[in-house]
Amino acid sequence: MKFPKVYSLDEIANLLNCEFIGDKNFQVLGMNEIHVVEPGDIVFVDHPKYYDKALQSAATIVLINKKVDCPEGKALLISDDPFRDFNTLTKHFKPFQFANVAIASSAQIGEGTVIQPNSFVGNHVTIGKNCLIHSNVSIYDHTVIGDNVIIHAGTILGADAFYYKKRPEGFDQLISGGRVVIEDNVGIGALCTIDKGVTGDTTIGAGTKLDNQVHVGHDTVIGKKCLIASQTGIAGCVIIEDEVTLWGQVGTTSGITIGAKAVVMGQTGVTKSVEGGKSYFGTPIEESREKLKQLANIKKIPEILNKLK
């Protein structure tokens, strides 16, 4: 997420009421999670296990809960609770905006697009040409939808990321300030849920088709011309490359990559990254031919036991 203008390090430190290490005029351009940071971004880290990863990332401002040596060309914001202060920045730069009409006045809707009754289109949403939005669809603020997109009834675009920090009093949510981006010619079935990014975009590539009741987690990027069948659950920060097929009830862990033109058979648990151009099955996931051989061999166990007797 980029800020509306360039801020100085001391301006951000004053906003957070925290110390800083570095030139007070050091430029701050935005904030992002570690997997999408760029120079000028703030990244937060609150566990020693991840200090080095954050300090050596592309981010040039690190919001951290300990005074450490500052890498050359970077700056530090010293906070007793970086998680809390990252939320403070999100609320400041991307505050919740109340809506009191079904289609916000700031929404931009292209020529030929039809929006059926009882749908909600939030603030600063952009919808392209010749789209069909069926009834009871909720499109949260800042969502971007391309041309020729069909979205069926009950689908929700832009709900918050499932991202929490456990505290003694309960779970503290990391506030989402990102977007959902739906490219041209995408089809989305009924009752799908696509969460917005924490600071970046959750993206569905051009020509991809989602069946009913598919969930897509925050910051996930789905490529072009993918097919995703019903009851599939895709975790956050997953990369699904072009022309992948996921059959029904597939589930994935977070932070993995599924290679281009892979086919994942129904009820598979994608527990790790997998290469493209192959077929997969089972939990834990394996190439389908190998997995089916294993299942066939398991069926032979009673016969082998009888022979041993």
C-alpha separations of 43 from 84, 85, 163, 238 in Å: 13, 11, 16, 19
The β-bridge relationship of strands 2-8 and 27-31 is antiparallel
Pure H helices in 94-187: none
Q: Confirm whether 124 is a catalytic residue.
A: no
* CA-closest candidate to residue 252, choices 219, 206, 216, 221: 216
Beta bridge partners of 21: 76
Are the C-beta atoms of residues 27 and 61 closer than 8 Å to each other?
A: no
Give the Cα separation of 71 and 66 in Å (integer).
14
| Distance from the Cα of residue 149 to its chain's centroid | 20
* CA-closest candidate to residue 131, choices 179, 187, 181: 187
Enclosing H/E stretch for 127 = strand 126-127
* DSSP-derived 3-state class of residue 142: coil
Are the C-beta atoms of residues 43 and 62 closer than 8 Å to each other?
A: yes
Q: How many Å from the N-terminal Cα to the C-terminal Cα in the chain?
A: 67
Q: Which residues are catalytic?
A: 218
